Structure 1
Amino acid sequence: MKGGKRTPVQAVNLWVRRQPPKMKAFLAVVTGMAAILFLRMVVKDHDNLFVAAEAVHAIGIAVLIYKLTKEKTCAGLSLKTQELTAIFLAVRLYCSFVMEYDIHTLLDTATLATTLWVIYMIRFRLKSTYMEEKDNFAIYYVVVPCAVLSLVVHPTTVHNIVNRISWAFCVYLEAVSVLPQLRVMQNTKIVEPFTAHYVFALGVARFLSCAHWVLQVFDTHGRLLTALGYGLWPSMVLFSEVVQTFILADFCYYYVKSLVGGQLVLRLPSGVV
């Protein structure tokens, strides 16, 4: 309350807001490292973090499905992010079938099916509520660089070169697939609850996946990196995971701040995402 005594959360939030961008970035890194250290202490089997990441992603999709079916609107959602998601999932499924078929192949199949359904709903059933003028991120800005990078840096395993390049492409594209959604939120500045829940779930899922890879490297004393291949590829895998996490970190901060403040609608200040 104005003029009243601030709570510890409010005091910390005010202090963080007053910090310069470099300090905020440093604090974000320190917070992320502390969170990963905490997970390392409390989670015995770090493979469970990857399962948890997929479970949180599934929750996010469930929220999205609820929004589309119950509220009959796709306002605030980016069709382009859903299309990029479908692309990298389709490529990853192809790689899974020809390279390493496992349980994650089934999970990706389910995720792709629901993503295609979301695309169908936005394009046809709920087209009148689609904010096309706000969804103005040119997807070739990410598809082309990812394709070029995959030609240069890809796995050095024994698999067919086309499969290795495809694998690299889906890793890079996944890292930046959320950018059109962030652009929509940047353009609108106001994010309704279900969209905010969905994007926050993506952020949490990305962090858990990143923590899984980082901790696996520590658990295997670096052997995981050589299992992925040689050269720049292992580092690029980890870098892609970190990029995905930090792309959504700023939004997640304002989401939690809004949640703590009891606000149902998330209002983003200028310059966020």
Structure 2
Amino acid sequence: MKGKRTPIHAVATWVRKQPPKVKAFLAVASGIVAVIFLRMVVRDHDSLFVAAEAVHALGISILIYKLTKERTCAGLSLKSQELTAIFLAVRLYCSLVMEYDIHTILDSATLGTTLWVIYMIRFKLMSSYMDDKDNFKIYYVVIPCALLSLIIHPSTPHHIINRVCWAFCVYLEAISVLPQLRVMQNTKIVEPFTAHYVFALGVARFLSCAHWVLQVMDSQGRILTALGYGLWPSMVLLSEIVQTFILADFCYYYVKSLVGGQLVLRLPSGVV
């Protein structure tokens, strides 16, 4: 006799059976509801950006625990960590020369820990690194982001080099997780610590996206004008949305697995 299904399991089963367009609509609707909820309960919307950085730091802490305690980097993408280090380094430079604030300190800490993770994978735990699974070509994202930043960048009074660098780190951050998703796509099985880390990235990206959306709503669009003119303001907002939805599918299966009590996340074909 089959056990009684919980409402959450029933809803998850129903969602899984829906066509892609319906799933996309449900994802967008859920995102809108979540943003409205955050607008109602969070007074200072700037704190969402700090929260996003904190959740990202939590994800890095999970990686540190995995690397130091389990002594393995299986399932992790070195290339994603390298892309993360690149956009953090560029953003840190921009922050230092353009607007030094609390984000500068947070980025410094995150960059330091990310470089440590890269060091551990490259020199201490290379024997467990899945080089054949981590086969996403970095130049597929770096070169397009660099070219796009030359074409579309802020129109602020800052030096052109700084404005291009700013645009480059925004674009690269949006898609830096793609190599990690490729690794999970190739393996189909994601061990717990890696799954926790990627989920933390998804939450951080959503909080960052919610921060920008609420800023636009609260200022009635004036913040976009403050960022400059032309296509740049729209590209900033689009980048935030893209990096959120890139991880949305994985986060759905992560929550479903967590509710089902599964320690190891198994991804069906076609996910990520």
* Alpha-carbon distance in structure 2 between the residues aligned to 1:40 and 1:33: 11
Q: Does 1:134 align with 2:146?
A: no
* Alpha-carbon distance in structure 2 between the residues aligned to 1:121 and 1:96: 27
Which residue does the alignment assign to 1:260?
259
Which residue does the alignment assign to 1:58?
57
The Cα offsets for residues 179-229 of structure 1, whole Å up to 9 and x where unpaired, read as 000000000000000000000000000000000000011111111101111
The one-letter code of the counterpart of 2:168 is: F
* Alpha-carbon distance in structure 2 between the residues aligned to 1:7 and 1:101: 49
Deviating beyond 3 angstroms after TM superposition, the runs of 4 or more aligned structure 1 residues are: 2-5
Give runs of aligned pairs for residues 204-243 of structure 1, distance below 5 A. Answer: 204-243=203-242
SS of residue paired to 1:156: coil
* Alpha-carbon distance in structure 2 between the residues aligned to 1:6 and 1:67: 33
Per the TM alignment, residue 18 of structure 1 is displaced from its structure 2 partner at its CA by 1.1
SS of residue paired to 1:134: coil
* Alpha-carbon distance in structure 1 between the residues aligned to 2:261 and 2:4: 18
Work out whether residues 52 and 208 of structure 2, in 8 Å CA contact, stay in contact via their aligned partners in 1.
Answer: yes
Which residue does the alignment assign to 1:143?
142
The one-letter code of the counterpart of 1:256 is: V
Per the TM alignment, residue 21 of structure 1 is displaced from its structure 2 partner at its CA by 0.3
TM-score (norm 2): 0.98
The alignment yields a C-alpha RMSD, in angstroms, of 0.8
Per the TM alignment, residue 4 of structure 1 is displaced from its structure 2 partner at its CA by 4.3
Q: Percent identity?
A: 82
Work out whether residues 133 and 183 of structure 2, in 8 Å CA contact, stay in contact via their aligned partners in 1.
Answer: yes
Aligned pair count reads 272
Per the TM alignment, residue 5 of structure 1 is displaced from its structure 2 partner at its CA by 3.5
Per the TM alignment, residue 3 of structure 1 is displaced from its structure 2 partner at its CA by 3.9
* Alpha-carbon distance in structure 1 between the residues aligned to 2:271 and 2:238: 22
Give runs of aligned pairs for residues 1-273 of structure 1, distance below 5 A. Answer: 3-273=2-272
* Alpha-carbon distance in structure 1 between the residues aligned to 2:16 and 2:68: 38
* Alpha-carbon distance in structure 1 between the residues aligned to 2:193 and 2:253: 15
* Alpha-carbon distance in structure 1 between the residues aligned to 2:195 and 2:84: 18
The one-letter code of the counterpart of 1:65 is: I
The Cα offsets for residues 26-63 of structure 1, whole Å up to 9 and x where unpaired, read as 00000000000000011111111111111111111110
Stretches of structure 2 that go unaligned for 5 or more consecutive residues are none
